[in-house]
Structure 1
Amino acid sequence: MSAASDKISTRSDRSRLLRFAPIAVVVAGLAVAYAMGLHEVLSLDYLSERREQLHAFVADNPLSSLIGFLLVYALAVALAFPAASILTVFAGLLFGWLLGGAVVAVAATLGATVLFLAARSAFGSLLRERLGERATRLAAGFEEDAFGYLLVLRLAPIFPFWVINIAPAFFHVPLRIYILATFVGILPGTFAYAYLGQGLESVLMAAEQSGRDISLRDLITPEITIAFVALALVAAIPTVVKKFRNRKAD
């Protein structure tokens, strides 16, 4: 009887370790990235100082540059590394707004999906067990129209990108819905940032001539922010109408 219990306990421990292994890899990767100083490399100042070398490398190696950029971007998103906006801007600078935006959309969706799967494996069921009925009611509301909820969250620049990547992992959101809503939802913002990047060269040159530093905030205008919010409001209309009809029917 004791031997059987030991076997069950061993299997349970292995299952627990396997469940947390993906998120442990993510956390370890993030720690290594910071230890290597990548937060300084993937910055607007560092990349802008080396834009001529980057332009030359892209011109000499167009295909490998695209593939390499896609992998770096996907890895940064999968590790929840805070560089997505800056890398999107530089995608527009290096590859043009159309090609750069397309590469970023694929890479961001790929990286977000990896992080989503890692978080769901580690914390999805655990959070439900801890929160009980309240989490069940919240999950039911979210899962009723997961695509609509995710689309609104993706369109509205209210929460950090990595937060929205992880949050759906706490609910039973189908993987295909997550991928589709993520890809579609990030397209407007992705191409907007890539378009900003395409015109970044003149902004950087003007900043260098004036001797002042430039930050990402200098590129984000109130008009762009208002446009993102408007897109989110439009996307929210079907979800709100559906909820209103359901309450009326009840």
Structure 2
Amino acid sequence: MKRSEEMMVNDEKLKGSSSKFPLTLWEISAASGVVLAFVLGLLGVYLTMPASDYSFLKLPQTLEDLQILRDHLESYTSDYTIQVLVGYCVVYIFMQTFMIPGTVFMSLLAGALFGVFRGLALVLFTATAGASSCYFLSKLIGRPLVFSLWPDKLTFFQAQVAKRRENLLNYMLFLRVTPTLPNTFINVASPIVDVPYHIFFLATFIGITPAAYVTVRAGIALGELRSVGDLYDFQSIATLFLIGLVTVTPTLMSKNKSL
């Protein structure tokens, strides 16, 4: 009874959110302030780099773009490690915050420039920080956008979260490990369906580790990749689903005991 009442209240919140679209002037100002902060961070990195031709600097959208970026940045990474690290972090977090496609290329780049272990640590930090930034920005201004873009997915996600409130961490881990729902959607929808931040954080950090490891390791042999699809063959996807099944098993066992 209590759960159904909670779902009804959340439904009313979601229905009422449609009237907030488009964003108010204050919400647009808040989002613009976040963008400005990222731009200033990138500008600071750019001004501390040596004078050179930086026409190669752009967000990679293909493997060819990524290989060109890797070839140019390798020489800078050893001499200007701090600037490259800060620039990488700002770009990755910015992309995650504003749902810009291409973070998989950034993960590959981390492996190519820093190796498996340092690259994995870098990706886990930036991906978790970016997802957290997206979470809080969505908490601030995201409700009308999410309701407008993904109304059906949002209703489904809300119902699943309400049903699994007692084992929410296991469910969120399952979503992170497996491609059941897009990570971008999870980032923006979680605060709207009342997923607590500590659960969101733990599920993100732990859940993205297997896929991040696969991607970062592939970055070392970047020249051998022919397409992004090569990263996730049947064996890799099956392994991720197996890990996801293990994470959700405690939830299934607790249900059986209650029955």
TM-score, normalising length: structure 1:
0.72
Residue 123 of structure 1: CA displacement? 4.8
Residue 24 of structure 1: CA displacement? 7.2
Larger relative helix fraction: 1
Residue 116 of structure 1: CA displacement? 1.3
2:49 corresponding residue in structure 1: none
Amino acid paired to 2:239:
A
Q: 1:44 to 1:158 in 2, by over 3 A?
A: farther
3-state SS of paired residue (2:191) = helix
Instruction: Select 1:105's aligned residue among 124, 143, 165.
Output: 124
Query: Within the alignment, does 1:63 sit opposite 2:75 as a pair?
Result: no
Q: 1:215 to 1:39 in 2, by over 3 A?
A: farther
| Contact preservation (8 Å) 1:92, 1:194 | yes
Q: Could you report, residue by residue, the CA deviation over 1:150-208 in whole angstroms, capped at 9, with x for unpaired residues?
A: 1001111343321121231222221111111111111111111101111224x16xxxx
> 2:161 and 2:29 mapped to 1: Cα distance?
25
Residue 219 of structure 1: CA displacement? 3.3
Instruction: Select 1:114's aligned residue among 123, 133, 145.
Output: 133
- Identify which range, 162-171 or 231-240, moves more after superposition: 162-171
Amino acid paired to 2:235:
E
| Contact preservation (8 Å) 2:111, 2:219 | yes
2:193 corresponding residue in structure 1: 171
Q: Could you report, residue by residue, the CA deviation over 1:136-159 in whole angstroms, capped at 9, with x for unpaired residues?
A: 755422433221111001111343
Amino acid paired to 1:222:
F
> 2:210 and 2:188 mapped to 1: Cα distance?
21
Amino acid paired to 2:238:
I
> 1:21 and 1:142 mapped to 2: Cα distance?
36
> 2:208 and 2:178 mapped to 1: Cα distance?
9
Query: Matched residue pairs, number?
Result: 213
CA RMSD of aligned residues (A): 3.4
2:250 corresponding residue in structure 1: 238
Query: Within the alignment, does 1:161 sit opposite 2:183 as a pair?
Result: yes
- Identify which range, 136-145 or 189-198, moves more after superposition: 136-145
Residue 72 of structure 1: CA displacement? 1.0
Query: Within the alignment, does 1:77 sit opposite 2:96 as a pair?
Result: yes
Stretches of structure 2 that go unaligned for 5 or more consecutive residues are 1-22, 38-56
| Contact preservation (8 Å) 2:135, 2:188 | yes
3-state SS of paired residue (2:215) = helix
| Contact preservation (8 Å) 2:214, 2:231 | no
After TM superposition, the runs of 4+ consecutive aligned structure 1 residues lying more than 4 A away are 15-29, 123-127, 133-139
- Identify which range, 18-27 or 66-75, moves more after superposition: 18-27
* Structure number with bigger Rg: 1
TM-score, normalising length: structure 2:
0.70
| Contact preservation (8 Å) 1:20, 1:121 | no
Residue 107 of structure 1: CA displacement? 0.6
> 2:62 and 2:254 mapped to 1: Cα distance?
42
Residue 25 of structure 1: CA displacement? 6.9
1:10 corresponding residue in structure 2: none
